[in-house]
Amino acid sequence: MNSTLTTTTESSYSSERVANIDRLRIFAAFGIVWFHTESVAGRGIGYSGLIIFLLVFCSLIVTHSELHGPGDFVKRRARRLLIPWLFWSAVYGLLKLGKALVLKSPISATFRTPAVLVGTHIHLWYLPYAFLAAVCIYLLARHSSSVPLVVAAGAAALTGVIALPVCSTLMSSVAATPPFPQWLFGLAAIPLGFAIGQCRRVSNVQIRQCLLAMISLAVLAECLSLKVLGHRHLTVQYAVAVPLVCGAYLWQGRQDRISQALAPLAYGIYLVHPLVSYSPGLLSKLTANPWVQIVTVFAVSAILASILRATPLRRFV
């Protein structure tokens, strides 16, 4: 196969940030805050932010897989994901313990979720999950380097399309405790993110655009079909996230100061926002409008993440 169909220069996909992907990161962080706000419409749409995070993360692992050896890659991902997971597990664990002591509630009831798989707060499940996904994506990208990119992208996309109804059915039929529903929720995003990453490596612009459009339309059509068939899980989130991520890579946009400032804070916002909303009664006293609460939590979380990034604690956000 012509090399123009199988590879592209490293600089074309790694030296510059993609403006619309940065905007999606901001939306994803906002969506997570939205999802975690009770009594507000469209929380399911907000939860698409988690799938956006995973799709972007996995696609970038593919395009950067040749930059680092296996040992260096694992160390870098561990520093970025597992070390913050341990740190924030300690933070949220101490907060929960303090709250249990103040309220004189059983400590065993405070830590019901298996901390070794999740951490001490439910949203922390994403970090070890993303680490394992990154290792799998990295190994797959390295060992499939001889496979034509179009074939690799198509096979991965097909795997993701098959995984969607399987995971949706399991989430509806199997009564599992966290983090297993969350793992199932994000599972299809791993092969789909791999497929998107492989598409980005195709240097022929028309073929790349066609592949991304096909993945987007296939997932959207499948999600609509599953919704009609009565599937309650995954459909809305993947129907929103996959077309948005593919679209952001198709139409990359131009950088602006606001997105350049906020996008690097998205990971930190995700990690710290439960701290800001830890006392929902306080927010409800300030305003009864849930949208004002969402914007307030997002803004304060962004400020907190920005402050942390200016301190030695920046390694944790």
Q: Which residue has the higher pLDDT, 48 or 7?
A: 48
Tokens of 224: 């609509």
Find the angle CA(119)-CA(121)-CA(124) to the nearest 5 degrees.
60
pLDDT in tens, 96-107: 888 777 767 666
* Cα separation, 187 vs 165, whole angstroms: 11
For Cα atoms 52, 249, 160, give the angle at the middle one, nearest 5 degrees: 50
pLDDT for res 101: 77
| pTM, full prediction | 0.91
Whole-Å CA distances, 24 to 30, 115, 186, 286, 298? 10, 30, 17, 29, 15
Comparison of pLDDT for 2 and 286, the residue scoring more: 286
Q: Which of 126, 120, 134 is nearest to 76 (CA)?
A: 134
pLDDT tens by residue, 225-250: 999 999 989 999 999 999 999 999 99
pLDDT at residue 187 in the model: 98
Tokens of 286: 């300030």
pLDDT, tens digit, 9 for 90 and up, residues 40-84: 899 999 999 999 999 999 999 998 887 789 999 999 999 999 999
pLDDT tens string 197-227: 999 999 999 999 999 999 999 999 999 999 9
pLDDT digit string, tens, across residues 140-186: 999 998 999 999 999 999 999 999 999 999 999 988 888 899 999 99
Look at residue 109 in the predicted model and tell me its pLDDT.
Answer: 55
Convert 225-238 to b/e letters by CB count within 10 Å (16 or more is b): ebeeeebebbbbbb
pLDDT at site 108: 62
Sign of CA dihedral 127, 85, 29, 179: positive
